[in-house]
Structure 1
């Protein structure tokens, strides 16, 4: 199975230049796990362990990456 960003112009016969990647943010402060902060991250998809706070050492979010552009050195 391959995840692809859907749009009204989606053609499954053409490879997408936008890929989905999981980005991890280790060692963030505990207040990041509050419902208010996680709700503010609503435009990003957070994994289940992040949303319920069961893994306080790491926040993981699903982000889109356009492979035609330069990769950022840091976030």
Structure 2
């Protein structure tokens, strides 16, 4: 299960923030209820980019063009019996 953004910031705060308790990776993992590998991964990302949001994911490109989308909507509005 992916961690929510606030949990990622908890990891950074608990282990590295100047005002935080500077816990070990194991202690942070227990506090946030995740695996130690997850803690290490997010701390590495924080050190590299100072960012903890989700990275863009690759996916299939759109199959229809915006014009085709408009045509489908127009057809559906004209012929309400078509499903």
**Which TM-score applies when normalising by structure 2?**
0.24
Compare the two structures and name the one with the higher helix fraction: 2
Structure number with bigger Rg: 2
**Which TM-score applies when normalising by structure 1?**
0.25
- Pick 1 or 2: higher relative contact order, CA cutoff 8 A, min separation 6: 1
Compare the two structures and name the one with the higher strand fraction: 1
